[in-house]
Amino acid sequence: MKRIVGIAMQVFAVVFWLQFVAIQLYDPMSEGFGALVWTIFDPFVAAGTLITIYVGLRRKQDVDKAQDGGLTKEYFEANLTLYGGIILIHALLWNWIGSRLLEPEMSLQWLWIFIDISVPLLLFPVGRHLANSDTAEQSA
């Protein structure tokens, strides 16, 4: 199951990145079809971010139990995944809930750009970790 979720997260991250680049060609103002695509992507981004936070929390707990001491690659990745996911979900909820449901004037364009850049950078490595960890568990 982890492998399927991991592959799905990787595919979504790539599709999301392609949308971020391609929208400048087919709908630069995001008023037509581009706005609809972003509206469809938002719940998937929220779900992927929650998965990222969960995976980051589990990895951080495992690293803290091992207590190798010092800054290791696993320690850095676990903390980056967890805290990056927390920052991303806050930014997403602020702009998504705030702009779509409460006040459209609250939407911050720079925050959407931050979200659009952060999603592939967080979801793809987490998806790769999930896909690889499931493979490692099956071979053990």
The reported pLDDT for the residue numbered 38 is 85
CA angle, 83 then 87 then 93, to 5°: 140
| The one-letter amino acid at 113 | I
The reported pLDDT for the residue numbered 104 is 66
The reported pLDDT for the residue numbered 1 is 87
The reported pLDDT for the residue numbered 70 is 74
Counting as low any pLDDT under 50, the low residues of the chain are: none
Residue appearing with tokens 């392609």: 18
Select from 121, 129, 138 the least CA-distant residue to 58: 129
The reported pLDDT for the residue numbered 35 is 79
The reported pLDDT for the residue numbered 37 is 87
Task: Determine the Cα–Cα distance for residues 124 and 129; give it in Å rounded to an integer.
Answer: 9
If DSSP codes are grouped into helix, strand and coil, which group holds residue 83?
helix
> Is the Cβ–Cβ distance between 67 and 94 less than 8 Å?
no
Select from 26, 44, 24 the least CA-distant residue to 120: 44
pTM (2 decimals)?
A: 0.85
| Kind plus residue range of the DSSP H or E element containing 59 | helix 33-66
